[in-house]
Amino acid sequence: MSTLAEQRLICTRPFEWCEIHPGGSIFLCCPGWLKRPLGNILEQDIDTLWNGPLAQEIRKSILNHSFHNCNSRRCPFLSTQTEPVSPVASVQNAEVRTALEQRQTQLDYYPRRLNLCFDDSCNLSCSSCRSEIHQAFGKELETCELVAERIIDQLLPQAHEITLSGFGDPFGSPTYLRLLHDLNQQPDGPDLRLHTNAQLWTEQLWAALPALHSRISAAEISIDAATTETYALNRSGGSFSRLLNNLEFISRLCLPLTLSMVVQANNYREIPAFIDLANQFNATAYFSKLVNWGTFSQLEYRLRAVHIPEHPDHAEFHSLLIRAAAHPRVKIGNLLACIDGG
């Protein structure tokens, strides 16, 4: 695969995207792929953050095609050279395309797409993410509420799309759920992309948010299993039967739907069954590599990370992944390197 510079590829993320993380830290992309925070929304105003020296330096690294702030091995878009990584001429958003064509690093608009990750409250404990169920309370809850207020005041007025949530669950976090109810009171508010475990996404809950029904642009449901037994291992606190019931309801909403699996040693043999599960609910199947977010020791991570060539099951996994990638409604994200590299 030729280099990004040779293909003159750019990434639109730093020109339209903003992530808000616990405590109010702000990033121009996932910190797993671009580690440098711009600052803190509780300490600085959005213009200082969005158009400050670091933000402009990151944009320059995109415009000169060096991508030197980015982790190309972890980022699924850089590793596969897929949107938001593309030639400038392919960028659909006219505002962003103009900024890229004119090589602007200081922008006269605020982020159009927000990924809200500031509350890790969740109703499940998933081994690939956390070691126990967590709900914000006390000082942590107060901070989450302050961050939500700043987002509503400074970012929502110009946002076109919100992803909820890149951390925690939109229905398992009281702060996020209140935000959804606030957005429900804004008929002309931004579109929503939901990322959830779907345990709490019931028909009854959805009926209480009628103004959001036409504004969901996509939904991703993290599952990490295709059987009851594996789901119990990887999604502690959840019910596979409840998930299936909720998926039956969600699939009737006619949303662009993705079911996702973080592939590891205890679930990779279920890749074919997971594709069948996605097809059952008219969804895309998305697979990604296991990342150690601090929940595993180095030894346990090596035992689980079947995508690593040294893993004893890697050859079997590799064969299953190649077959999976041939399906038209399968995306393998940052696992593409496993096919290219063997």
Give the pLDDT confidence of 79-99 residue by residue, as tens digits.
Answer: 888 899 999 999 999 999 999
Angle at 299 between CA 332 and CA 305, to 5 degrees: 10
pTM of the shown model = 0.91
Place of tokens 């739907």: 257
Decide which of 129 and 207 is more confident.
207
The confidence score (pLDDT) of residue 132 equals: 79
Question: DSSP per residue over 193-252, as a string?
Answer: EEEE--SS--HHHHHT-GGGGGGEEEEEEE---SSHHHHHHHSBT--HHHHHHHHHHHHT
Q: Radius of gyration (Cα) for the chain, nearest Å?
A: 20
Mean pLDDT of the chain: 94
pLDDT of 68 above 70: yes
Mean pLDDT, to the nearest integer, of 265-276? 98
The confidence score (pLDDT) of residue 2 equals: 55
Q: What is the pLDDT of residues 32-53, one digit of tens each?
A: 889 999 999 999 999 999 999 9
Give 73's pLDDT tier (boundaries 50, 70, 90).
confident
The confidence score (pLDDT) of residue 271 equals: 98
pLDDT of 187 above 90: no
Give yes or no for a contact between 166 and 195, defined as CB atoms under 8 angstroms apart. yes
The confidence score (pLDDT) of residue 337 equals: 85
Q: For the ranges 60-64, 87-91, 164-168, 255-259, which has the lowest average pLDDT? A: 164-168
The confidence score (pLDDT) of residue 342 equals: 57
The confidence score (pLDDT) of residue 307 equals: 96
User: Which CA distances in Å does 108 have to 98, 244, 301?
Assistant: 11, 45, 44
Give yes or no for a contact between 59 and 65, defined as CB atoms under 8 angstroms apart. no
pLDDT of 3 above 80: no
Q: What is the pLDDT of residues 118-133, one digit of tens each?
A: 999 999 988 777 767 8
Q: What is the pLDDT of residues 289-334, one digit of tens each?
A: 999 988 899 999 999 999 999 999 999 999 999 999 999 999 998 8
Give the separation between CA 116 and CA 150, rounded to whole angstroms.
12
Task: Look at residue 49 and give its three-state secondary structure.
Answer: helix
Q: What is the pLDDT of residues 4-20, one digit of tens each?
A: 666 789 999 999 999 99
Give the separation between CA 178 and CA 188, rounded to whole angstroms.
18
Mean pLDDT, to the nearest integer, of 189-207? 97
Give 167's pLDDT tier (boundaries 50, 70, 90).
confident
The confidence score (pLDDT) of residue 166 equals: 76
